[in-house]
Amino acid sequence: MSEPFLAADGVTVRFGGLTAVDSVSVVADRGETVGIIGPNGAGKTTLFGALCGSVPAEGTVRVEGQDAGTWAPHRRARAGLTRTFQQRELFGSLTVRDNLLFATEAAALGQRPMRLARRHAYRQPDKADATIELLGLQGCAGMLAGSLPGGLARLVEIGRALCTDPALVLLDEPSSGLDNDETAQLVDRLRAAAAACGCGLLLVEHDMSVVNALCERLYVLDFGSCIASGPTAEVLASAEVREAYLGDLGAA
């Protein structure tokens, strides 16, 4: 049986005396949507950093069956492990379409780094336009990314990740700052995009409506440790999880 695309085992991150992530193991594969939930400060963003290689960590991270523990973030991204950030990271003075074109160019150049001089040749307009359609961004494709309201800007970030042909996209709180309508739209678009691309999604999310609508499985972090994992309904019904997290949110 082949290994899942991402298989991390015993991931531990220390900041001085603080163990922000404590021996956490995570697997995620193409075609599935997996959630990571937990209170603020539980270590979710730090875990993403460790998986992507931007935060030094102990433990093992395997990507497509290979030991990726020493790989720099760009090498993990080239292998298909792509992330979006909690803070917006768009090029605000470029149009939406140019943001996506740039992503196709960067991804293609990443496979052929010696071709920098002819970099525009690596732009893939078809892929950018297909992504615009997939995410329903046709109406704002020519607008500056910096001028977009939060919900659309979030979709453009996701579009940029999709333009790199990812196997697994890590999304850090994609619904943060969005209103109810924008969140419902995000859920629909994410579901459609993941189905069309065949990629997996690993998402850190606070909004239980998003978690329930999208995630098949969950991991729950609390004080850096994974206190529960399994199918979404089972995990959310667990007394320990409700006490650690859901109780303090007043969520169902």
Ligand X SMILES: Nc1ncnc2c1ncn2[C@@H]1O[C@H](COP(=O)(O)OP(=O)(O)O)[C@@H](O)[C@H]1O
Interface ranges with Mg ion (CB under 5 A): 45
Does residue 44 contact residue 226 with C-beta atoms inside 8 Å? no
- Kindly tell me which of 43 and 174 has the beta carbon lying closer to ligand X: 43
Give the list of residues 6+ apart from residue 106 with CB closer than 8 angstroms, or none: 164
| Contact status: 174 vs ligand X (CB under 6 A) | no
- Kindly tell me which of 45 and 131 has the beta carbon lying closer to Mg ion: 45
Ranges of beta strands (E only) in the chain are 6-15, 18-28, 33-37, 58-63, 66-67, 81-83, 168-172, 200-204, 217-222, 225-231
Helix axes 96-111, 125-134, angle to 10 degrees: 130
| Contact status: 42 vs ligand X (CB under 6 A) | yes
The Cα–Cα gap between 119 and 101 comes to 11
| Contact status: 15 vs ligand X (CB under 6 A) | yes
- Kindly tell me which of 9 and 85 has the beta carbon lying closer to ligand X: 85
Identify the residue among 4, 35, 38, 166 touching ligand X (CB under 6 A). Answer: 38
- Kindly tell me which of 7 and 37 has the beta carbon lying closer to ligand X: 37
| Contact status: 41 vs ligand X (CB under 6 A) | yes
Which residues contact ligand X (rule: CB under 6 A)?
A: 15, 18, 20, 38, 40-46
